[in-house]
Chains A and B, each alone.
Chain A
Amino acid sequence: QAVVTQEPSLTVSPGGTVTLTCGSSTGVVTSSHYSYWFQQKPGQAPRTLIYETSNKYSWTPARFSGSLLGGKAALTLSGAQPEDEAEYFCFLLHSGVIVFGGGTKLTVL
């Protein structure tokens, strides 16, 4: 089974920009992996922010964006807010099976 990798932790300053990535052990991530991004805060269910690489929901803050970058899926946060401090998970679709990354703990400090 493919392994999906994310940075274990990242720190961003308030108002700053940070990019989280989601890589695959099988090689380059493409749009065919239908990457999704989720935000989870302690004690809460995950919240979907981005679907199918770059699509947003009505509830997705405009400061979040999804893309493909350097062979990986990426989530960019531009203008970080204190409330963005959370765990962020991605998943990729591999041959009909969904594989989650291990998550990135994002600190806004």
Chain B
Amino acid sequence: EVQLVESGGGLVQPGGSLKLSCAASGLILGNSAIHWVRQSSGKRLEWVGRIGLKAESYATTYAASVKGRFTISRDDSQNTAFLQMNSLESDDTAVYFCNLGRSGYWGQGTLVTVSS
């Protein structure tokens, strides 16, 4: 059974940092591009960014709203992807999901709350 498990969410003050993880089991993460998607309480889904495969030199792309603040990385040897979030703002409050693009798999999400 394929599972993606996000972790690392929590409460952080504005301006703070947080690093999320997405651990995969039941598949080889290195075969998939990895996306991070977030969903605020307003329910709209927002794409955060993507990291490509080794064959794409792990190229990353980000939404304008997070570019320069968020960094996506991956460690295929650990079957894990990461989302480093810096300079967090209240608008970053959301449930963060990892998603494997064409593979179709989603994690269950982890909640990030940015508040003083």
Contacts and interface: CB of A to CB of B under 8 A. Distances in A.
24 contacts: A1-B64, A38-B45, A45-B107, A45-B108, A46-B37, A46-B97, A46-B106, A47-B106, A48-B99, A48-B105, A51-B104, A52-B102, A87-B43, A91-B45, A91-B47, A97-B47, A97-B61, A97-B63, A98-B35, A98-B47, A99-B47, A100-B45, A100-B47, A102-B44
| Interface of chain A: mostly helix, strand, loop or mixed | strand
Closest CB pairs A-B (n = 3): A98-B47, A48-B104, A100-B45
Contacts, number: 45
Interface residues of A, number: 20
Interface of A: 1, 38, 45-48, 51-52, 57, 59, 87, 89, 91, 96-100, 102-103
**Chain B, interface size: which category?**
20 to 34
